[in-house]
Structure 1
Amino acid sequence: PIPPLEIQQEIVKILDAFTELNTELNTELNTELKARKKQYEYYQNMLLDFDDIDSNHKDAKEKLAQKTYPKRLKTLLQTLAPKGVEFRKLGEVCEIIRGKRVTKKEILDKGKYPVVSGGIGFMGYLNEYNREENTITIAQYGTAGFVNWQNQKFWANDVCFSVIPKETLINRYLYYVLTNMQNYLYSISNRSAIPYSISSNNIMQITIPIPPLEIQQEIVKILDQFSILTTDLLAGIPAEIKARKKQYEYYREKLLSFKPLQNKA
């Protein structure tokens, strides 16, 4: 279509303005997305940082008084762990269980239970499982050291470790501790060979804080709530960007749709 120049100019003006607004909004939304991620990481790190109040440190009690924990959490720490928080090796308080191998021929595109292997996503599906829901996994090969939370029954492949805590640990608390140590887990994996790998022995040597169970529960409660809010936001922002893009495409199509002139007989 070739409308008169004045109309072309007006269409360009409208679409340019819309493009500019759309770009600004996308930038703002992506900035908000990054800010929320950083905020979540900050709170997770703050809630799980017990290094200063290790019970082996003589000044743990004084350091605890200086900490900026949420009020209820700080009260619980001062009441239940006044001399500091105990640290122990993961192998002392958990079982690290390797999965069982399945071949590519056995893997299904569709099935009841996902197969967790050395990657971040699922390898495929099977109609049987060897691990219960709410299990922590650590990739042994591939994305070696990657920590994940499996919220459904699944099949753990032979390049996947399951971390099963004993009675002194709440599963979800341990998951948050390990994800907070994600970069450290990557650092203790063997990245000089392909594929990358991490040994169960290296994982078992990791030292983690083990506060009383009531304190673990409080931390899980706070981080679960924050995680839900963050997840909703992370889902909402891309959806908003997508909606704006559709809106722009709609108006562009409307502005550039012209009915052909009919020749009068």
Structure 2
Amino acid sequence: MKLGDIADIGTGNGNTNEGLDTGKYPFFVRSQDIKYKNEYDFDETAIITSGDGVGVGKIFHFVSGKYALHQRAYRVHITSDNVLPKYFFYYFKNSFLTYISKASFHSSVTSIRRPMMINFPVPVPPLEVQQRIVDILDRFDTLCNDISSGLPAEIEARQKQYEYYRDKLLTFKELKKEA
């Protein structure tokens, strides 16, 4: 299906200079870094991506709740009951760069336009398949990125194991001197 058939697509109205280091609501600009504002523009589940600049096709955020949005960042709010927002997030993150590399405008700054977003093709498998994909990718994301579990915790455990065996191997019994 075309993205325009399953989602509401739009941009925000904020400017980068409105971003704060702290505030009540996340403010998504055209960066991987999230700023904050004390006012919000939207209260929904959405996928956010950069509309122009070096982050086009490379920056993606999944948000659920109140947030503010930069005027050159796109929000994709899934409106179809046949598409799980988190499934679309993973698919979008995986496939959008390839798509827009062929369709984007390249001047001094790469940018995308709303019709490109609307025409982005999205495969829509059954909901059970989408949920299985989300479950697997969520687990993988946790393994790779959650500092208290997953890969970082495993690396720390292996480091401690290495240190233990290193110390054991390099500890020698003192030899008794013979008279």
Query: Normalization by structure 2: what TM-score?
Result: 0.73
Deviations 1:52-78 (A, max 9, x none): xxxxxxxxxxxxxxxxxxxxxxxxxxx
2:75 counterpart of 1:162: yes
Q: Which residue of the partner structure matches residue 250 of structure 1?
A: none
Alignment partner of 2:42: what SS?
Answer: coil
* TM-fit CA distance, 1:214: 2.1
Does the residue aligned with 1:223 lie in a helix, a strand or coil?
helix
Aligned-partner Cα distance in 1 for 2:94–2:72 = 22
Q: What is the CA–CA distance in structure 1 between the aligned matches of 2:13 and 2:87, rounded to whole Å?
A: 26
Q: Deviations over 1:184-220 (max 9, x none)?
A: 1451332x32332111111211111101222212221
TM-aligned CA deviation for residue 183 of structure 1: 2.9
Measure the CA separation in 1 of the matches of 2:44 and 2:25: 10
* Worse-matched range after superposition: 166-175 or 131-140: 131-140
Contact 1:112 1:127 survives alignment (8 Å): yes
Structure 2 residue aligned with 1:222: 136
SS of the counterpart of 1:95?
Answer: strand
Gaps of 5+ in 2: 164-179
Structure 1 residues 204 and 120, CA, compared in 2 at 3 Å: closer, same or farther?
Answer: same
- Name the % identity: 31
**Residue type of the alignment partner of 1:111:** G
RMSD value over aligned CA atoms?
A: 2.5
Query: Are 1:140 and 2:54 an aligned pair?
Result: no
Distance 1:148 1:189, change over 3 A: farther
TM-score (norm 1): 0.51
2:2 equivalent in structure 1 = 89
Q: 1:198 aligns with which of 97, 112, 118?
A: 112
Mark the runs of 5 or more structure 1 residues left unpaired by the alignment: 1-87, 248-265
Aligned pairs for 1:98-109 within 5 A:
98-102=11-15, 104=17, 106-109=18-21
* Alpha-carbon displacement from aligned partner over 1:83-107 (angstroms, at most 9, x marks no partner): xxxxx11111111111112362x43
1:126 aligned partner, one-letter code: K
Q: Give 1:113-132 correspondences, 5 Å limit.
A: 113-122=25-34, 124-132=35-43
Preserved CA contact (<8 Å) 1:147 1:179:
yes
